[in-house]
Structure 1
Amino acid sequence: MTAASLRFRLAAGALVSILIALLLVWFVLNEMFEDYLADQYANEMTAVADALGARLTVDPGTLTLASEPTDPRFQMPLGGRYWQVSPDGAQSPLRSRSLWDQELSRQKFLPDLYCGFYQAEGPDGNPILVSVKEMSIAGSGGDQKHFTIYTAFSKGEMEEALAGYSRPLMMMLFVTGALLVLAAFLQGLVGLRPLAALRSEVAGVRAGRTASITSEGPSEVKPLIKEINLLLSERESAVERARARASDLAHGLKTPLTVLAHLVEGLPQDRRSVALQQIELVRQRADRQLQAARMGVEQMATTSLLGISGKLVSVLSPVTKSKGIDWALDIDPDLTVQADPADVAEAMGNILDNAVKFASGKIELKALAEGEMIILRIGDDGPGAEPDRYAMMLKRGISGAGEEAGTGLGLAISGDIASAYGGQLSLAKSHLGGLEAVLSLPISARAS
């Protein structure tokens, strides 16, 4: 499973944080407004109860109301505001006209409270919220008359007020969330821009356009740039040391092999031929190992495939012209590979040498991009080889025609070069009738 991108992680983190924050704000503001609204209704009901209590008198033993509250909603049937005074004892309760023939009683209240109010069924069948207050008043004889005052209002009125507050609040939070998401997106876009610039710089280094990263970037990125430049510097030093050792080894082997070649001149003819062949074999194998040590050290170089092919064809043209061999090139000029030009030239040159040796009248070069690789096909119309010999030819250097051709290290070296860059070399039957070598190399990095 591939790791999520940094931009995706930042966006996901911002979205989750914004969502949690907005939900928290929604919950807190709704609770605060609900508490505020409940307090307002509670204060209103308390004021009505106090006004009723102040107007009550005891005329002997009977509770009477000197005057009713002036709010017209109490006078209208189903007016939305209700009150009832229930004396202890056998006296019938006093109540507002808005209650019509409904009588409030604790026994009829629902078990659950709503915002601190009791719930009951109103005169119109809709729920009402009831506030209850116990009071007492002294009679003329000094005895206390106890009574209960019920004040109520429509539950739908409070729910409508809450909904009227929630709708604009939801719209406001939605707009706020959209703005915050946009701000988070812009922040991520601007904040990650230095990384995009760094990526472009690294691509330039890989492509061989620059030797180090030159952009400064923000303070958070500077340590990374410094470490990358140090790594590039150490790598360059290691490459130079490897090249120096390879050069020293080449010079160290050259003289002893030359001396040995002179010494075997005094041997009999049959032995001299074998000895010279073995000396040449040692020389070529040493060259192969030196080549392997050098291969891939310039993987940051960019090489034009058509440019290298054109140069090789120009070098081999005098030979192919004398043999009557035609060339056919089908390579896009924009195709470039991530490899050192010398390595690409040697890998292709070994294959083309083999093709020139056995072609009858035509050699074909085709290249195309497949994913992250460039596939180069070099085919000829020569005698070719049996498919069961392809693997042996790559390992032991047997020529395409099946005849021995020196030590036959050319195709093996080409395969080693391809492997050093993450590609490969394979053999197949060409549609021209001869052998086809399929060489794959990585596409060069492009600045983005």
Structure 2
Amino acid sequence: MIRSLRLRLAVGAVIAIGLVVLVVWLSLGRFFTDYVVARYRGEMATIIDTLAAELAVRDGELTLGRGPADPRFDLPTGGRYWQISPLKGKAMRSRSLWDTTIDVRTSTDSPYEGFSISEGPDGQPLLVHSQVLSLGANAPSVRFVASAAFPQKELDAAIGDFQGRLRLMLVATAGVLAAGAFFQGALGLVPLRRLSERAAAVRAGRARDFGTAGPSEMQPLVSEINLLLEEREVAVERARARASDLAHGLKTPLTVLAQLAEHLPPEERKLALRQVELARQRADRQLQAARMGVERMATTSIMGLGGKLVSVLRPVTAERDIAWRVSIDSSLSLDVDPADLAECLGNLLDNAAKWARSFIRFSAHRSKDEIAILIEDDGPGIAEQDRESILQRGARLDNADDREPDGTGLGLAISADIADAYGASLTLGQSDLGGLKAMLTFPVKVARRPLRDPV
């Protein structure tokens, strides 16, 4: 099945043009053949009429006063021939027949109407037109067959030459029509290409709807899409409102629980506060998942967003004398919601800031159809056997020190989920700085997918 609309239009145009050209070729060929045959038949009938006008009957026999004036009749194999064949008696013929006699009784039918085929003086076939006539006012009258002939190759050559020119003309016409059909198809699909570009702009957040420009035939479709986008915008606002209500609804009970936990014994208080914090983290994760399902995508500069995140974390790490190196091309950007990318990178940068000893490297580069973002530190890193499990929600390493005693282990998992939602991947490895290397790999053409259900 042909999936390309342009190819479908092209194939349909080629088939239609081919059928039309075939019909025109057969029709014009038939019309021309009939016309030429009629002209030759008329010429032969004129020769016969000229001969009949010069015939006379004397003593019961036919006599010819003067033959046709065409000099070709006087030259052997001259190209025009005549013969008078009485039913009784000797036949009279033109000198061009030389010693050949046209036997109209044994002549074969030709493909041309009104002619039969007989052998000529040079062995070539002749097209013969014959009429049975009678002469004499009183009985008995003399009956005879008057024949006029010419070489068959003369008529074949005339028709063949026309057919050749006709084929050449029709092929050229078909080529021009096919080119016009291809151009028309390409021109007709321009609105669809513009519609696709408009859809990309809406998806990237550069436009709110598809507008009203375009052919009238596409306006019903554009209107329906605009209504769909409007309904989606309403659904987004409702989802945001519900998420905000849920956040406020959870904040108050968790705050009350945290206050009540202050009256518990030290060990129980610590456990209760940790569970309250865990509930807050998981609630935030649920709200993040709901927001990612409805947010509009936008083109986000990696350098612009990354620079803001580093400027926030740099003062926090300054007291530990941690140096930062940011190496990102300012032209690199992703079609990712800024809030999603900020949380994804923020978790990774925050993790590097917690564990780095003296140096953090933040870089990004493009390779073919991918953009890689790397965050590296010179901290203790993560053992190879733990790198996959640490990306699971709630996972923590046994060697966590006092810099994150109450961590929930959700940061890296959240970054991994956000990356997965945009068709990207998060991989952990060993940096040449000695610590952890976190690499986010995004496709250049981002296509957001449904977020995995959070736990």
TM-score, normalized by the shorter chain, greater than 0.5: yes
Residue number in structure 1 paired with 2:291: 294
Residue number in structure 2 paired with 1:20: 19
Cα separation, partners in 2 of 1:117 and 1:330, compared to 1, 3 Å:
farther
For 2:356 and 2:398, how far apart are their aligned partners in 1?
10
Residue number in structure 2 paired with 1:244: 241
Matched residue SS, 2:216: coil
Residue number in structure 2 paired with 1:3: 3
Cα separation, partners in 2 of 1:160 and 1:409, compared to 1, 3 Å:
same
Check the 8 A contact 2:419/2:426 in 1, yes or no.
Answer: yes
Q: Which amino acid letter does the alignment assign opposite residue 414 of structure 2?
A: I
CA RMSD of aligned residues (A): 2.8
Matched residue SS, 2:387: helix
Aligned residues: 442
Q: Deviations over 1:380-436 (max 9, x none)?
A: 333322333222111135468953741110011112212233333232333444332
For 2:365 and 2:109, how far apart are their aligned partners in 1?
81
Could you tell me the TM-score, scaled by structure 2's length? 0.87
Residue number in structure 1 paired with 2:400: 403
For 2:370 and 2:294, how far apart are their aligned partners in 1?
19
Q: Deviations over 1:234-281 (max 9, x none)?
A: 111111111111111111111111111222223332222222222211
Q: Which amino acid letter does the alignment assign opposite residue 3 of structure 1?
A: R
Q: Which amino acid letter does the alignment assign opposite residue 280 of structure 1?
A: E
Q: What's the CA shift for 1:311?
A: 1.1
Q: Which amino acid letter does the alignment assign opposite residue 122 of structure 2?
A: D
Cα separation, partners in 2 of 1:437 and 1:181, compared to 1, 3 Å:
same
Residue number in structure 2 paired with 1:426: 427
Q: What's the CA shift for 1:95?
A: 1.3
Cα separation, partners in 2 of 1:112 and 1:289, compared to 1, 3 Å:
same
- Structure 1 residues without counterparts, runs of 5 or longer: none
Residue number in structure 2 paired with 1:221: 218
Q: What's the CA shift for 1:57?
A: 3.5
Matched, 1:135 2:113: no
For 1:366 and 1:400, how far apart are their aligned partners in 2?
26
Could you tell me the TM-score, scaled by structure 1's length? 0.88
Cα separation, partners in 2 of 1:129 and 1:257, compared to 1, 3 Å:
same
For 1:324 and 1:400, how far apart are their aligned partners in 2?
25
Matched residue SS, 1:266: coil
Cα separation, partners in 2 of 1:266 and 1:326, compared to 1, 3 Å:
closer
Residue number in structure 2 paired with 1:253: 250
Matched, 1:198 2:195: yes
Residue number in structure 1 paired with 2:119: 121
For 1:117 and 1:324, how far apart are their aligned partners in 2?
113
Matched residue SS, 2:99: coil
355-364 or 223-232, larger mean C-alpha shift: 355-364
Cα separation, partners in 2 of 1:83 and 1:432, compared to 1, 3 Å:
farther
Cα separation, partners in 2 of 1:301 and 1:190, compared to 1, 3 Å:
same
Q: What's the CA shift for 1:322?
A: 3.8
Identity of matched residues, %:
50
78-87 or 396-405, larger mean C-alpha shift: 396-405
Check the 8 A contact 2:349/2:375 in 1, yes or no.
Answer: yes
Matched residue SS, 2:408: coil
Q: Deviations over 1:73-124 (max 9, x none)?
A: 11111111112222224x3322111111222224654565245532333222
Matched residue SS, 1:79: coil
Q: What's the CA shift for 1:347?
A: 0.2
Matched residue SS, 1:403: coil
Cα separation, partners in 2 of 1:138 and 1:400, compared to 1, 3 Å:
farther
1:14-163 matched pairs, under 5 angstroms: 14-89=13-88, 91-106=89-104, 109-110=107-108, 112-114=110-112, 116-138=114-136, 142-163=139-160
> More relative contact order in 1 or in 2 (CA 8 Å, sep 6+)?
1
For 1:305 and 1:234, how far apart are their aligned partners in 2?
31
Q: Deviations over 1:325-372 (max 9, x none)?
A: 443433322221112111101100101112222234433333334566
